[in-house]
């Protein structure tokens, strides 16, 4: 059981376990599922999409936070914009990881992907 200590100096400290709110919180995937956030306004050095030795499966492209109308997203020349959990797009280990998109003028794209075992 936790308790709060107030020393009289307008400083309160809480000791002991804190409630986490039931079952809400972080779902640890331990290196299986990732999110790649692509800032469309960045004009600096281009970032490449991470490709692992066994390849990756792109399971979603979220354009909710992108400005403009994103109509296409490719990674190493492979179209991934239509990827879903039910129909993921596989990127082989030899993919270049070069990102390209059409229509986005700002904001961010979130690309969700999973590692594939070697």
Residue 14 lies in a domain: no
CB 51 within 8 A of CB 93: yes
Cα-based distances in Å from 66 to 19, 61, 91, 110: 36, 11, 23, 9
pLDDT of residue 116: 83
What integer pLDDT is reported at residue 95 of this predicted model? 94
Alpha helices in 1-118 (DSSP H): none
pLDDT along the chain (118 residues), means of 10: 63 65 52 85 77 92 94 96 96 93 92 85
Is 23 a domain residue?
Answer: no
- What pLDDT, on the 0 to 100 scale, is given for residue 78? 97
Phi, psi angle pair for 47, to nearest 5°: -95, 150
- Model confidence, pTM: 0.71
- pLDDT of amino acid 46: 72
Q: What is the pLDDT of residue 80?
A: 97
For the chain, what is the domain count?
1
Residue 84 lies in a domain: yes
Q: Cα–Cα distances in Å, from 101 out to 40, 46, 89, 111, 114?
A: 9, 13, 16, 12, 21
54 token code pair: 């066994």
Which structural domain, as residue segments, surrounds residue 88? 29-115
Give strand pairing partners of 38.
Answer: 109
**105 lies in some domain:** yes
């Amino acid at each position: 059981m936790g308790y709060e200590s107030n020393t009289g100096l307008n400083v309160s400290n809480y000791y002991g376990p804190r409630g986490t709110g039931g079952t809400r919180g972080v779902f640890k995937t331990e290196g299986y599922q990732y999110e790649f956030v692509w800032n469309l306004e960045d004009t600096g050095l281009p970032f490449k999409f991470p490709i692992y030795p066994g390849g990756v499966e792109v399971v979603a492209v979220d354009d909710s936070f992108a400005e403009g109308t994103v109509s296409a997203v490719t990674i190493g020349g492979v179209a991934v914009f239509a990827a879903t959990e039910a129909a993921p797009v596989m990127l082989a280990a030899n993919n270049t990881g070069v990102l390209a998109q059409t229509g986005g003028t700002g904001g961010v794209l979130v690309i969700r992907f999973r590692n594939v075992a070697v």
